[in-house]
Structure 1
Amino acid sequence: MLTSLLSPPVTPAVRLSFHRRSMELQKPLSTVTMAFTVVAFVIFVIARAQVTGLELPLWPRLMCALALSLLVAAIPRATSTFVFGLIGAAYVVVLQIGVMMNVTGVEQPLYWMLPAGMVVPICAAPLWLTPRHFVLGTTAFYMAGIPFVFSVPFTHDDWVLCAMWVAIGIPTATTFHFGFYWFRLNHFLLEEKLIALAATDPLTQLLNRRAFLEQAGQMLSAPRSGDEIVSAIFLDVDRFKSLNDQYGHARGDDALLQVTQVIKGAIPPEAIAGRLGGEEFAVLVPTAGTHQATELADSLRIRIAGILRPDGFLTASFGVAHRRGHETAIALLDRADEALLRAKHAGRNRVFVERVSSVARVRATAIDENIDAQADATPGADSVRHWGPFELSTHFQPLYSLSHQKQVGFEVLLRGRDHEGQPVQPELLFAPQSNPDVIELDSLTHHLHFNNARKRLPQDTWLFLNVAPSTFIQPGYEQTLANMASAAGLNPGSIVLEILESEGVSAEELALAAWRYRGCGFLIAVDDFGAGHSNLDRLLRIQPDFVKLDGELIRAKSRASDQPLLSTIVSLLHRADMLVVVEGIETTEELVLAVESNVDFAQGFLLGRPSANIPAADAVMRRIDHAFDVIAEGRIARASRFEAQLSPYLAMVRAAAAALSDGAQVHEAIAPMTAFALCRRCFVLDQTGRIVGQEFVGQAGPGGDFRLGPLRSTQSARWDHRPYYWKAVANMGTAVFCQPYLSLTSGRASVGVTMAVQRDGEVMVVGSELDWTSPHLAWPAGE
């Protein structure tokens, strides 16, 4: 009852863990305290001999001191809390016996006994490991003193002294023990809570990344029996960002909790699971064969696909890898992550197993340790310039042609250090300056970059040079820059001038200046398109040779279909005769998207950090080549899945076209099409692309964007400009389909399936517009 009042309620297992940990922590303290008590006992024996002047038989007292010393030596070797408490009880009993022997034969022995009888229980109270130890040990101590009490004639004063002894000693010892025990227990519980918080994800209560890797390391280092191997399952919830953006983070958190329940309910007890970040989870499981991990991953995929989300069902993509030799947990997870990447690019909601060959790390943001080392390299004294208290130097960041798979250019970046050698950001160098000072600093920077590029720039590569707009529009600076380049031995035709973002310079001024620089042979690039004040009109006026897209455009997606917009943006710029550079490539997923979107050049930390030296390119080439392989594999898988999903609808159109050719009325021929799940509208078009009769609403209609109400009636519409019409006419008698497009009647992503036939000497096109917004539907690579 007393322990329940003085300590928080805990389970027996937690209390046992607390006692074991307390024993390990308390062993040094108990050893030192008990050893000191042995010394005090010996001093007590010497004091007795000196004060009373009596000759003492030393051997019983020395035997007590020896027994106490042996018990002290046994404390560090205690293997359980029971043994630890037993040693403590034996110690206080022997100590009590020794004290009693030492006071035997003196006048008023009770006064000699008082210090030990009072101090020992009080000082020992905090050292008892558990309340049970305290009660039993203290009782044993007093019980051992009973023979002494009965052997001493008591006076009235002696009874008062004993009463004071009991009244002060026992309550004080009890308070000390339970107060200290309560303090230690609360400290233990707080420590356990902090450990749990540091090791678990606060939302899902799964292991976080650090704790997962720690436990994974322990699992991999444990001995394995027979053919048992450890497999890693890496999973990523598909389209999770769209769930958060469209329906709120609360709905996203609920989805993650449901995924967590699926994982906990499906994995075996010996497996470990963790949330590694965002919507990414990992499972490490010992298996008897490689197929078991794949089956477990597929089971998880099926269960997750049963979780509802507002616009359908949740899905996840999986990568599976099996441990090779004695590789680390990081290496194993990297291969599972690479398989996950391929699964996502093959259309999501599927399980991919690792490749046999080794692959580059998917999550890396730097190619190798050499690049990181070079990024911090200190430039030589001949490669720097001074600007006030700052030392300026040049760093190079490579640009790669994705198709050529080689370094084709380097952006030169200004780096500054103060008088203490600490880095200073470029914006701090430029921001406080007046306009003339900015031009002067810009000129100094260009001179510095040209001299350094002459020493380090490889042959047949471009030099991308940042120019402040206020400097760029200065009359005559184009000739100054050309003279600088010539003096440094550089050809202006190999220099790309990057026009930086600016609020105070008009597009007309930039366009006129660009014309002058082109006359000197320079190439022009617009930097950070898609951020700040950049716009398409600005591009069309300046007509740059290169457009450097802001990294955020990589992550831009369609609101309804959640498909990336990068390929469309790149296609538009290509139509305007501009080459495209994507900046900010930091992950393999972004690199894959850049390659898939037909981006010309890429730049970012994944491909090389800014460095005072030119980094090697071999590792980057392997990474880019890997991205091409992922795309090729994914394109085939997505195309196959796309065609499989369209197959019943192509058969549907063939049946309707056959009925129409056989003389059936329009409504009779197309009415059966309305029963198919994805059909939004079904129609027959004449040779001018106009609707014959009326169109029919299918299972997926008539819902659409309420803003498009005036467009719902299509009786006067003409559709012969649409790919689904002219492709059908060009392939008469064959059912065809088109790429997904934005429907003008519903405002949603759609796919047209059509077939052209001859009837009464006229061309008629039978077709249906399919609702293609579900995340379970495949999107093929663009034509």
Structure 2
Amino acid sequence: MSGWRRGDTDTLARRHETSVSRGPERRIAALVLAALTFVAGLIGTAHLFVDGTLHQGATRISYAVAMAACLVAAAALAVRPRAGRWQTSGLVMLAEVVYVIVVLSVSVPAQATPLMLLFPSFVAAWFLGTWMLGATMLATVVACTIALTHTYDGALSIAVQVTISAGALNSAAFGVYVLRRRVQRLLEATQALSHQDPLTGLANRRLLVEQAPRVWRQARREGSRVAAMVLDLDRFKQLNDAHGHAAGDAVLRTVASSLAATVRPSDVLARTGGEELIVLGLVSDPAEAHRLAERLRAAVRTSRTDDGHSVTASIGIALARPVDGEDAADAMWRLVDRADGAMYEAKQAGRDRVAAALPRQRSGAFADSLRPARRAAG
């Protein structure tokens, strides 16, 4: 699984493309589709009991089968409210077929107006991909042609009516599709910003928390340990005071780029504030964690801005073996607190070095008490 580094929040946004199959909002959408389909089938079924509404014979049977298909589709969607794009496309195509059957079955064809296809057209525009939407738009033209051929005489009249009806339906569907894409891009941009540090492009605190359950599950599955590494840039405040915040920002961006190129694909690299960064990943033993931390320390040490500014980093390591039933986010912050204490020890030992936390856990209050002293030492 890909790690979260510079630009990976864009990947996250792409993974949240509009889909009817995932998330609670998708379940609600599926239930709404089921309810509307059920209501349509129920209203249509009522016509079977109104004398003079439908033709007798085979067309009446076809009509009854079409209404039953609507009710069955609605029930299936309600029982399993996870309609993907293929299922939604099938539902839209069913609506097209039902419309044609209705036109051929009613005694007064004018009662079956093409506006009956407006709802399935909107559903297709909002939930389906480009080529599926194109297929449903073509199906709308075919359905209108069959229906209106049964209603009007003369090729010219039929062509004009099909152009007006299908054109209006498909134009409305295309407009909804364009609106949906616009809303989707805005949502993706908002989601990317909510998970991305604006200065470095790395993951932020929110995304780090969201990734903790994934890391904990993978560690339990593989029997690995979780390693938290807290990196704090040495003498960063002095650099800002001497050269200005623009130089400090350039250093942070350069360091972030070097670290992103150094961490493993499965690691989570995040900036949690100021000059502090966190790496969360899986290791088999403390030696592997130490080797990774040394690579990160070397990456920071060798990174240099275009103006020639550079820094070093003190790194603290803490390891934990996840257990069943624990809250991943809480466990992560306890692990980060331990790594934070080890990082302070690296500062006290001379900076630009790696220190590992002892196996015992330190409380969050203890780690918090270290931060002011560490900032003074930084």
Instruction: State the TM-score, normalized to the length of structure 2.
Output: 0.80
1:184 maps onto 2:180 in alignment: yes
d(CA) in 1 for partners of 2:56, 2:85: 42
The one-letter amino acid of 2:89's match is G
d(CA) in 2 for partners of 1:17, 1:359: 38
Q: Check whether the contact 2:231–2:316 (CA below 8 A) recurs between aligned residues.
A: yes
Any stretches of 5+ residues in structure 2 without a counterpart?
1-9
Shift of 1:279: 0.1
Matches of residues 52-91 of structure 1 in structure 2 within 5 Å? 59-75=61-77, 77=80, 79-91=83-95
| DSSP-derived class of the 1:137 partner | helix
d(CA) in 1 for partners of 2:280, 2:21: 33
Change (3 A) 1:132 1:187: same
Shift of 1:241: 0.6
1:254 maps onto 2:254 in alignment: no
1:18 paired residue number? 17
2:6 paired residue number? none
2:319 paired residue number? 322
d(CA) in 1 for partners of 2:150, 2:309: 90
Matches of residues 444-463 of structure 1 in structure 2 within 5 Å? none
1:137 paired residue number? 136
Q: Check whether the contact 2:262–2:299 (CA below 8 A) recurs between aligned residues.
A: no
d(CA) in 1 for partners of 2:11, 2:222: 37
Deviation sequence 1:63-110 (CA, Å, 0-9, x none) = 22111211223445455312320232133213422431233xxxxxxx
Change (3 A) 1:292 1:74: same
Matches of residues 463-474 of structure 1 in structure 2 within 5 Å? none
Higher RCO (C-alpha 8 Å, min separation 6): 2
The one-letter amino acid of 2:349's match is A
d(CA) in 2 for partners of 1:333, 1:12: 26
Aligned residues: 352
The one-letter amino acid of 1:588's match is L
1:27 maps onto 2:24 in alignment: no
| DSSP-derived class of the 2:114 partner | helix
Larger proportion of helix = 2
588, 612, 618: which is aligned to 2:370?
588
Change (3 A) 1:356 1:72: closer
Shift of 1:175: 1.8
Change (3 A) 1:324 1:266: same
Q: Check whether the contact 2:318–2:356 (CA below 8 A) recurs between aligned residues.
A: yes
1:206 paired residue number? 202
Shift of 1:331: 0.8
Matches of residues 463-612 of structure 1 in structure 2 within 5 Å? 587-590=369-372
Q: Check whether the contact 1:342–1:352 (CA below 8 A) recurs between aligned residues.
A: yes
Larger proportion of strand = 1
1:350 maps onto 2:132 in alignment: no
Change (3 A) 1:340 1:126: same
The one-letter amino acid of 1:20's match is S
294, 298, 302: which is aligned to 2:298?
302
Q: Check whether the contact 1:338–1:361 (CA below 8 A) recurs between aligned residues.
A: no
Q: Check whether the contact 1:123–1:173 (CA below 8 A) recurs between aligned residues.
A: no
d(CA) in 2 for partners of 1:223, 1:286: 7
Deviation sequence 1:21-60 (CA, Å, 0-9, x none) = 588364234323322322332344445x2468x8677544
d(CA) in 2 for partners of 1:141, 1:311: 64
* Identical positions, percent: 25
Change (3 A) 1:307 1:144: closer
Q: Check whether the contact 1:217–1:329 (CA below 8 A) recurs between aligned residues.
A: no
Change (3 A) 1:325 1:144: closer
Shift of 1:201: 0.6
2:41 paired residue number? 38
2:118 paired residue number? 122
| DSSP-derived class of the 2:19 partner | helix
| DSSP-derived class of the 1:320 partner | strand
1:703 paired residue number? none
The one-letter amino acid of 2:333's match is I
| DSSP-derived class of the 1:234 partner | strand
d(CA) in 2 for partners of 1:593, 1:71: 63
Matches of residues 277-296 of structure 1 in structure 2 within 5 Å? 277-296=273-292
d(CA) in 2 for partners of 1:14, 1:358: 36
Instruction: State the TM-score, normalized to the length of structure 1.
Output: 0.41
Change (3 A) 1:348 1:147: closer
d(CA) in 2 for partners of 1:18, 1:171: 28
1:102 paired residue number? 106
Aligned-residue CA RMSD (Å): 3.4
Q: Check whether the contact 1:232–1:332 (CA below 8 A) recurs between aligned residues.
A: yes
Shift of 1:114: 3.1
Shift of 1:190: 0.9
Change (3 A) 1:189 1:146: closer
Q: Check whether the contact 2:224–2:283 (CA below 8 A) recurs between aligned residues.
A: yes
Deviation sequence 1:538-567 (CA, Å, 0-9, x none) = xxxxxxxxxxxxxxxxxxxxxxxxxxxxxx
| DSSP-derived class of the 2:112 partner | helix
d(CA) in 2 for partners of 1:146, 1:14: 40
The one-letter amino acid of 1:240's match is F
Deviation sequence 1:170-207 (CA, Å, 0-9, x none) = 22111211111111221121111111111111001111
d(CA) in 2 for partners of 1:146, 1:343: 77
d(CA) in 1 for partners of 2:300, 2:230: 14
Shift of 1:290: 1.6
The one-letter amino acid of 2:136's match is G
| DSSP-derived class of the 1:305 partner | helix
Rg larger in 1 or in 2? 1
Matches of residues 336-485 of structure 1 in structure 2 within 5 Å? 336-361=339-364
Change (3 A) 1:155 1:229: closer
d(CA) in 2 for partners of 1:178, 1:22: 22
Shift of 1:231: 0.6
The one-letter amino acid of 2:262's match is A
Any stretches of 5+ residues in structure 1 without a counterpart?
1-10, 104-111, 366-586, 597-774, 776-783
| DSSP-derived class of the 1:224 partner | helix
